[in-house]
Amino acid sequence: MFEFRRVLVVSFLVWLLMSGGWAERPNILVILSDDQGFGDLAHHGNKVVETPRLDQLFAESFELTQFHAAPVCAPTRASLMTGKQFLRTGVWGVHGGRDYLDLRETTVAEHLQKSGYRTAMAGKWHLGKTDAYMPYNRGFDEAWPIVDRLYMHTDPVVDHNGEIERPRGWTVDILTDYLLDWIDNGDDRPFFAYLAHPYIHEPYYAPELLIEKYRKKDLSDSFARLCAMTEHLDQATGRLMDALEERGLSGNTVVFFLGDNGPIGNPVNVPHLTEDEMASRNPLGLKGVKGNLYENSTRVPFMVRWPEVFEAKVSNHEADITDVVPTLLDLAGIDYNEMDFDGRSLTPLFKGDVEKLNTPARYYANHEVVWAGRKRLYDFLEDRNGLSFEDQVLSLRVGDLKYVMGFGNRELYNIAKDPGESENLVSLYPEKSAKLHNQLREWWETNVFSDSKSYSMPVFPLPSQTGRSILLHPCAPSEVFGNVVQGSHFSHQWRSSGDGIGFAIKVANSGDYKVNIDADIEERTGKLSVSVSDEMVQISLEDLDSQNMGTMNIPEGEHRLLVRLIEAEGDSVKIENLKAVYLTRL
């Protein structure tokens, strides 16, 4: 049946090509906003923020009002790039080494690049923070991912195909300009452009004139800043749409705009939003916030515009972030095996052929993976076999029914009748609840836990090119020893001899590497060693400010690279934060 539907879709696309439905493969532009919930648009009933250009864009587009993403950023991005539920891609969180897209995965950019598209990306990548995992390694001809910090709303540090650039200005405008310049300087091939804005994720910063506009509406400083960010994003999107029109590209460019997850109101730089302010961002009264599995966390804005091909309309048909990849491949005329993806193409829906749709069960997961003995969010998972299905925070959507489990709770909702998830139906329908629970268990055990990519830490391929460096993030080890406490970005509290971490590395060609360390030293007693097989370099903590630990030869193959504290006396903290391990090919 799946293959039959696939044949129908391909036949339909061929008919469009032959009948003039579109004359050539279209350009594709995907715009992803950050932490912009369904209610963060005036178009969706928000009475505070002004989003005239996005309102216009949605009015001109095919809008899905029941489109769902993952509850947090990196998981959504993993699904957007692969067409798979994120736990099957190597991504299982937002930091702590859990946000690396497994190198065995093929991205949509790689599919499109291979088929003749030119490809580019700008903005928040969040699927790997070092060489081999960057977007220019994963199918994008040219890329400008934000590095250093993900949420730099001004003067971002970007990694342009391996070269660091430090442009000045507002990030939302800089990213837009990168892609427009790239479009202008390209050849006649169709393009795929992916623009991943860090707006409207905290911290809350925006042009002062826009902030003052909202302060005059008697909003708090925090809320005025958030609304100003949202309008600034609106302006940048409008400028991009105008640029496509001016270049004569609107008619043959399919534009997608979507959010990565629902809203949250806890900025680090200004006071948190109040309950009333959060409620104004949620005019439909949906349950939850970013990070949980309720509707206000996963239901996000989504539209696709292709003038003269897709009708401008609003549909409440349920759809999912995993549907985007097969949809893009269909639009590009690329054949694929439908079973390679968890999502299904939405192209029939956009053309009004609803009966040809194949809508599978949808599976969602929280980024907070739970296991016995875990004390902190980023504790190191020593043995994935210690994970139990019953401990996990998961949900399942089948038609109108949504089943949610986690933290000892079991919930069942009819989303069509109760979009606010106010009436838990578990006690009224125990057999249905048990059936959905078992279906969720079977999926997790068969499709997630049995996949070696799930709940894993990244493998770091060392560079073979002379002068090329790789950053091994101490938050992403494959082993942890002794007293070490793992955090979201660093490795903490190295106290005694034997404390340390180990990385999984792969070397294509044996060679010499310079080793550099970045760490916050608390007490300068003892030494730090780095070893691979029989090779070792070490340095006294007294001398670690120099960062350069020396040179080591690493043979071809797969290895464990161990970083350990040695000759350290007592249990006081010697290294408060191990922040980076750099290896440079000589």
Question: SS3 string of 265-321?
Answer: CCCCCCCCCCHHHHHHCCCCCCCCCCCCCCHHHHECCEEEECCCCCCCEEECCCEEH
- Stretch 420-425: mean pLDDT, rounded? 98
pLDDT score of 7 more than 60:
no
**Per-residue DSSP letter, 154:** B
Which neighbouring-strand residues pair with 217? none
Of the pLDDT bands very low, low, confident and very high (cuts 50, 70, 90), residue 21 is very low
The architecture of the domain spanning 459-585 is Sandwich (2.60)
Alpha-carbon distances of 351 from 286, 303, 341, rounded to whole Å: 29, 14, 21
Q: What is the pLDDT of residue 522?
A: 93
Q: What is the pLDDT of residue 190?
A: 97
pLDDT score of 277 more than 50:
yes
- Enter the tokens of residue 552: 């080591």
pLDDT score of 120 more than 70:
yes
- Stretch 207-231: mean pLDDT, rounded? 98
| Strand 401-406 versus strand 362-365 pairing type | unpaired
Q: What is the pLDDT of residue 354?
A: 80
* Closest CA relative to residue 458, chosen from 101, 136, 135, 73: 101
pTM over 0.85, yes/no: yes
Of the pLDDT bands very low, low, confident and very high (cuts 50, 70, 90), residue 23 is low
Distance CA 235, CA 220 (A): 22
Name the one residue in this structure whose structure tokens are 């800089």: 174
Q: What distance separates the 2 farthest-apart alpha carbons in the chain?
A: 79
Alpha-carbon distances of 580 from 52, 481, 547, 553, rounded to whole Å: 44, 17, 10, 20
Name the strand (E) or helix (H) holding 566.
Answer: strand 557-566
pLDDT score of 345 more than 80:
yes
Name the strand (E) or helix (H) holding 326.
Answer: helix 324-331
Q: What is the pLDDT of residue 22?
A: 45
Of the pLDDT bands very low, low, confident and very high (cuts 50, 70, 90), residue 548 is confident
| Strand 27-33 versus strand 469-472 pairing type | unpaired
Distance CA 443, CA 21 (A): 39
Q: What is the pLDDT of residue 107?
A: 98
- Stretch 5-27: mean pLDDT, rounded? 54
The architecture of the domain spanning 2-188+203-253+289-355 is 3-Layer(aba) Sandwich (3.40)
Name the one residue in this structure whose structure tokens are 């004569």: 248
Q: What is the pLDDT of residue 5?
A: 47
Query: What residue spans define the domains of the chain?
Result: 2-188+203-253+289-355, 368-449, 459-585
pLDDT per residue over 67-84, tens digit each? 999 999 999 999 999 999
pLDDT per residue over 195-204, tens digit each? 999 999 999 9
- Stretch 104-109: mean pLDDT, rounded? 98
| Strand 479-481 versus strand 500-507 pairing type | antiparallel
Name the strand (E) or helix (H) holding 460.
Answer: strand 459-462
Name the one residue in this structure whose structure tokens are 């960057």: 134
Give the range among 39-43, 326-330, 538-542 with minimum mean pLDDT. Answer: 538-542
Rounded to the nearest 5 degrees, what angle is found at the Cα of 79, between the Cα atoms of 126 and 4?
Answer: 160
pLDDT per residue over 349-391, tens digit each? 999 888 778 889 999 999 999 999 999 999 999 999 999 999 9
- Stretch 32-38: mean pLDDT, rounded? 98
- Stretch 134-148: mean pLDDT, rounded? 96
| Mean pLDDT, the chain, integer | 94
Give the range among 66-75, 148-157, 278-287 with minimum mean pLDDT. Answer: 148-157
- Reading phi first (left if > 0) and then psi (alpha if -120 to 50, else beta), residue 498 is in left
Summarize the chain as % helix, strand, coil (round to 5): 30, 25, 45
| Strand 191-196 versus strand 118-123 pairing type | parallel
- Stretch 173-188: mean pLDDT, rounded? 96
CA 374 vs. chain centroid, Å, equals: 24
Of the pLDDT bands very low, low, confident and very high (cuts 50, 70, 90), residue 545 is confident
Q: What is the pLDDT of residue 17?
A: 43
- Stretch 89-108: mean pLDDT, rounded? 97
368-449 has which CATH code?
3.30.1120.10
pLDDT score of 64 more than 70:
yes
